[in-house]
Amino acid sequence: MRPDAAAQAEVSKLAYYGLYALQHRGQESAGIAVSDGTRIVVFKDMGLVSQVFDESVLNTLRGHMAVGHCRYSTTGSPTWENAQPTFRSTDAGGLALAHNGNLINTPELAKRLEPGVLTATTDTEVLTALMATRMEAAARESGGGPGDPIAAARQVLPDARGAYSLVFMDEHTLCAARDPQGVRPLVLGRLEELGGWVVASETAALDIVGAAFVREIEPGELVAIDGEGVRSERFAEPRPKGCLFEYVYLARPDTTIAGRSVHAARVEVGRRLAREHPVDADLVIPTPESGTPAAIGYAEASGIPYGQGLVKNSYVGRTFIQPSQTIRQLGIRLKLNPLREAIEGKRLVVVDDSIVRGNTQRAIVAMLRDAGAAEVHVRISSPPVAWPCFYGIDFATRAELIAGNLSVEEIRDSIGADSLGYISLDALIAASQVPKGRLCRACFDGEYPIPVEEDARGKHLLEPSRS
């Protein structure tokens, strides 16, 4: 948020840079909503941030506040209608909202809306519609005038269950809110020289737009930012359960979560992995880039030299979050290529962050053997992902997860490795430096901090033809 009118053209560009920094969190669509104090303008489309926006588009998005989003679909199909920010225009003013996470009572909340109100099939659309409806009703009761997004959030958010880190705004106020468990990260930053404020999913985005980290938005906290500064209140009692998988894969390594450097946590995981699953080998190589910090730690603790054995094509996105299995498998071949002279005849330790479906590791082991590796020992810097996530990661059935159906030895055989070792859950938690009771570990141990009803599961809940 920038309070001065002279800098209106810069706000959309700051949002653009922030989204660029967070591109790893979603690659399906991108959007920015901007307010100039009178109206809100939204521009969004399918594709990467760099594909959706260019200089001419950003120059038309003029205002003193902006909300941006890059989407990774966990509720609703990857379509233009489901791109964010979502927007509602009401007699009480506009409301633009962006959401990271996943609600688990979306059908229940959707029933509170009049038929035909929803124009998209996401939990984010349901939240936006409910809040806009409350804004409009409050404005009518008071005899007209602008709506109040803070009052609307107070009414709606206590009934929302699941993971939600939100940024939303009307024409005058930028707001942020985080679910009582704080499953997904959300941080507040200060643009000192420009006199503005920034809210983002990760501290890395603050660094890239030149903002200083102030603090995390607390679980159950609602924040409002306007020309008078920052105001904060509680809408729910905090029950912290931050996502442990953020430390494994989702967050950038240059991000800090709960005071812990993600890179430092991943290196420490590698050290502990080496102690838990040693092996005689000639070279430790990572699956770039997500396996790199843990591979560094593994090499350090084991005394085995660290090297590069796989070359990554930097122009191919994260295969894990691509929406279709066909693209995932094709993306693996496009993304990595073995460095034959480094691995031929060598006994390799290959360190990766996780095994979800097994496709990536199977392809990598085959490529390394074809390139002349003598042995391939796979080491994984997370425990087996054996349970589905309902809080913002797109593996929603146990049938999709290789560890949900096979033992470690069966997985080793499936991917073709000489040996396979996973870090223990206790060691991963210790590396995060967050107490076990303050972490969501559901994908590893099946203990869900927010119970999920059977009829609230699945990505296409609001799409009856596909559910």
Q: What is the DSSP string of 418-467?
A: SEEEE--HHHHHHHHTS-GGGEE-HHHH---SS---GGG-STTTT-TTT-
Q: Is 95 exposed, middle or buried (0-12, 13-18, 19+ CB in 10 A)?
A: buried
Average of pLDDT values for 385-389? 94
Does the annotation place 353 within a ligand binding site? yes
Q: Per the structure block, which two tokens stand in for 253?
A: 């390594």
pLDDT (tens digit per residue) in 314-334: 766 554 455 555 555 566 667
Does the annotation place 443 within a ligand binding site? yes
**Separation between Cα atoms, residue 343 and residue 346, nearest integer Å:** 5
The pLDDT value given to residue 139: 81
Average of pLDDT values for 300-306? 98
Does the annotation place 243 within a ligand binding site? yes
Percent of the chain residues past pLDDT 70, beyond the cut: 90
Q: Is 213 exposed, middle or buried (0-12, 13-18, 19+ CB in 10 A)?
A: middle
Q: Is pLDDT above 50 for 467?
A: no
**Separation between Cα atoms, residue 386 and residue 411, nearest integer Å:** 12
pLDDT (tens digit per residue) in 68-114: 999 988 888 889 999 999 999 988 899 999 999 999 999 999 999 99
**Separation between Cα atoms, residue 172 and residue 195, nearest integer Å:** 16
Q: Is pLDDT above 70 for 373?
A: yes
CB 342 within 8 A of CB 305: no
The pLDDT value given to residue 327: 58
**Separation between Cα atoms, residue 393 and residue 223, nearest integer Å:** 25
CB 222 within 8 A of CB 154: yes
Does the annotation place 440 within a ligand binding site? yes
**Domain 5-241, classified CATH 3.60.20.10, yes or no:** yes
The pLDDT value given to residue 324: 59
Does the annotation place 352 within a ligand binding site? yes
Closest CA to 87 of 155, 33, 166: 33
Q: Is pLDDT above 90 for 3?
A: no
Does the annotation place 70 within a ligand binding site? no
The pLDDT value given to residue 328: 54
Average of pLDDT values for 225-242? 96
CATH 3.40.50.2020 positions along the chain are: 258-439
Q: Is pLDDT above 70 for 134?
A: yes
Three-state DSSP at 190 gives: strand
pLDDT-wise least confident of 118-122, 161-165, 308-312, 457-461: 457-461
pLDDT (tens digit per residue) in 78-88: 899 999 999 99
pLDDT grade, residue 466 (50/70/90)? low
CB 391 within 8 A of CB 441: no
**Domain 258-439, classified CATH 3.40.50.2020, yes or no:** yes
Does the annotation place 290 within a ligand binding site? yes
pLDDT-wise least confident of 140-144, 255-259, 400-404: 140-144
**Separation between Cα atoms, residue 129 and residue 135, nearest integer Å:** 10
Average pLDDT across the chain, whole number? 91
CATH 3.60.20.10 positions along the chain are: 5-241
Percent of the chain residues past pLDDT 90, beyond the cut: 78
